[in-house]
Structure 1
Amino acid sequence: MTSTSELWTGGRVTPRAACVLGPNPGVMTLDGTNTWVLREPGAGEAVVVDPGPLDEAHLAEIRRVAGEDGGSVALVLLTHHHHDHAESAERFAAITGAPVRGAGRGEPLADGERLAVGTLALEVLATPGHTADSVSLLVPGDRLLLTGDTVLGRGTTAIAWPDGDLTSYLATLERLAALVAAGRVERLAPGHGPVVTDPAGVIAGYRAHREQRLAQLLAALEDGAATVEAVVAAVYGELEGFRATAARHTVQAQLAYLGVELPA
């Protein structure tokens, strides 16, 4: 994941979707985790997607947004298990009484499952790759797809190897591209960063980026890189901290995709 100087502050983005920005900005989280509050206009029941970090002020703000016009939280959904998306799930469920589903909690989410919460319609799409349990959520009424960390509002996502894998991720990008081409998706609501208004272009860019990285990795191998760390250095240069970890995981996912084994 990469960050720029652009500032994303959340807020309402469609008649059915509002973003409450988590107070956890950083290298990997961009401006913070996007907690999505979904509700059919005029309805009383809301769905909260990825309640994010365990911060009481953040949870209170989610409840405030969900409770506008007397609404309440009826369901909590998780796009995947990573801490920055799911840390507060149990606490938020305790204070709202709403069940949690996804990322190993509650009743598993099934690919193609259609959810109805009040008059709000959602569709679950299995979109593995970033992690094995990654899902995206389609809001058909807005042609909006909540993508978690599968597609970000800025930059590109990491493949969280060994849980995530590149074969699945490339298939997921193909699936998302097909949804856009079919007219079912017009915008992407990511787990980090602003709403994507050119989903076809961004997804195509993601695919091209993966092809470029694979070409760089193959070039590094041809030049004699014989360890994972050597490949990381050749492809990404000098990195530290979370960026270095993300690059290492992505390189390991690429090597696995190519069927190449290297020592660390």
Structure 2
Amino acid sequence: MAASGNSPSPKDSSLQRSSGLTRFRLAPNPGPMSLDGTNSYVIGLPGSGHVAVVDPGPEDEGHLAVLASAGVVDVVLITHRHADHTEASARFHELTGAPVRAVLPEHCHGGEPLTDGEVLMTGGVEIRVLATPGHTSDSVCFHLPDDGPSGSVLTGDTILGRGTTVLDYPDGRLGDYLASLDKLEALGGATLLPAHGPVLTALDAKCREYRDHRQQRLEQIRGALEQVGGDASIAQVTDVVYADVDPSVRWAAETSVAAQLDYLRS
């Protein structure tokens, strides 16, 4: 997942402009799977005074204070259940009084679960909820159709600013993920606002790149099965396909292999 990018320093306390209708702050939680950290987004028409916050991230008081100072927080939206996106949800609800909404009820605080196709209006901005399972079963993206000439999409971990995402198998499934890429590609060349890594242009091109990567991995898995046998274990296939993987992310490689074996064998 590691590669070069242009995310702000975790020590930067300001909100960075990411698109015409969004700003973001990099949370101080870098790591092997979170890259430089989680990008927490603020959505709102400049000058409206009202905002939505997406993925408040870790429970870091300084980080949350900056997000809370962005305006009157009308709603907090969660892209998926992982802790680097949800840990601060309850605390941020306490700080702002804003309802926290996610697909899973256990990650909602004072708000209702999100539903696919739902349209929200906050801070003068239309936000469309898109169910995009695959990384996790509860993953959603947020489409801002009026954010620039081609709109923008907050993709959570479904598509990253660099590298590729892990399918959290068995909760995340490859078949679902490929269908989600098709759904996002249909939105065209929207600005891509990921939860990790730098902002990108041309969502549709990135979806095609991700799909090609998955197909290449599937071919490698097929080759590994021919080499070590059709009933090979996840660990055996990982040894072949991810021979040089860093031990710190070996579990992620095995999880991806498990998802791909399930896809091929089913």
Separation in 2, partners of 1:107, 1:76: 11
Shift of 1:98: 0.4
C-alpha contact 2:117 2:130 (8 A) present in aligned 1: yes
Give the 3-state SS of the residue equivalent to 2:146 in structure 1.
helix
Equivalent residue, structure 1, for 2:78: 78
Among 163, 178, 183, the alignment partner of 1:175 is 183
Residue 12 of structure 1 deviates from its aligned partner by 0.4
The reply to whether residue 11 of structure 1 matches residue 55 of structure 2 is: no
2:139 alignment partner in structure 1: 134
What residue number does 2:11 align with?
Answer: none
Q: How does 1:195-214 map to 2 (within 5 A)?
A: 195-214=199-218
Amino acid of the structure 2 residue aligned with 1:135? V
1:259 maps onto 2:258 in alignment: no
Q: CA deviation at 1:40?
A: 1.3
Q: Quick one: structure 1 residues 90 and 242, their matched pair in 2 at CA, closer, same or farther if it must change by over 3 Å?
A: farther
Counterpart Cα distance in 2 of 1:187 and 1:118: 19
Structure 1 distance, partners of 2:80, 2:54, is 10
Query: Distance between the aligned counterparts of 1:153 and 1:90, measured in 2?
Result: 27
The percentage of counterpart residues that share the same residue type is 48
The runs of 5 or more residues in structure 2 that have no matched partner are 9-14
TM-score scaled by structure 2?
0.90
1:59-112 Cα offsets, whole Å, 9 max, x none, are 111123x1xxxx211100000000001100000000100000004223111111
Aligned to 1:145: 153
* 2:5 and 2:162 in contact (8 A); partners too: no
For the residue of structure 2 that corresponds to 1:146, the secondary structure is: strand
Match of 1:141, SS state, is coil
Question: Which SS does the other structure have where 1:216 is aligned?
Answer: helix
Corresponding position: 1:230 with 2:215: no
- Tell me the residue number matched to 1:249: 255
Determine the structure 1 residue equivalent to 2:47: 42
Q: How much does 1:168 deviate? A: 0.2
Asked if the contact 2:186/2:204 (under 8 Å) is kept, the reply is no
Contact 2:141-2:156 within 8 A present in 1 as well: yes
> Quick one: structure 1 residues 103 and 113, their matched pair in 2 at CA, closer, same or farther if it must change by over 3 Å?
closer
Give the AA of the match of 1:96. Answer: T
Q: 1:48-67 counterparts in 2 under 5 A?
A: 48-64=53-69, 66=70
Q: Write the distance in 2 (CA, Å) between the matches of 1:192 and 1:118.
A: 24
| Cα shift at 1:201 | 2.2
Could you give the per-residue CA deviations for residues 115-166 of structure 1, whole angstroms, max 9, x where no partner exists?
0124221100000000000000011111010000000000100100011000
Alpha-carbon distance, 1:11 to partner: 1.1
- Asked whether the 8 Å contact 1:7–1:31 carries over to 2, the reply is no
2:95 is the alignment partner of 1:95:
yes
Q: What is the CA–CA distance in structure 2 between the aligned matches of 1:257 and 1:88, rounded to whole Å?
A: 34
Q: Is the 8 A contact 2:187 2:204 kept in 1?
A: no
Opposite residue 237 of structure 2, the aligned amino acid is V
1:125 to 1:108, Cα distance in 2 relative to 1, 3 A: same
In structure 1, C-alpha distance between the alignment counterparts of 2:91 and 2:204, rounded to whole Å: 37
Query: 1:240 Cα shift?
Result: 4.3
Distance 1:21 1:250 in 2: 26
Cα distance in 1, alignment partners of residues 20 and 186 from structure 2: 25
Quote the residue 1:25 is aligned against: 30
RMSD (Å) for aligned C-alpha atoms: 1.4
For residues 146-165 of structure 1, what are the structure 2 equivalents within 5 Å? Answer: 146-165=154-173
Matched letter for residue 258 of structure 2 = Q
CA contact (8 A) 2:38 2:196 kept: yes
Q: Does structure 1 conserve the Cα–Cα contact (< 8 Å) formed by 2:162 and 2:197?
A: yes
Aligned residue pairs: how many? 250
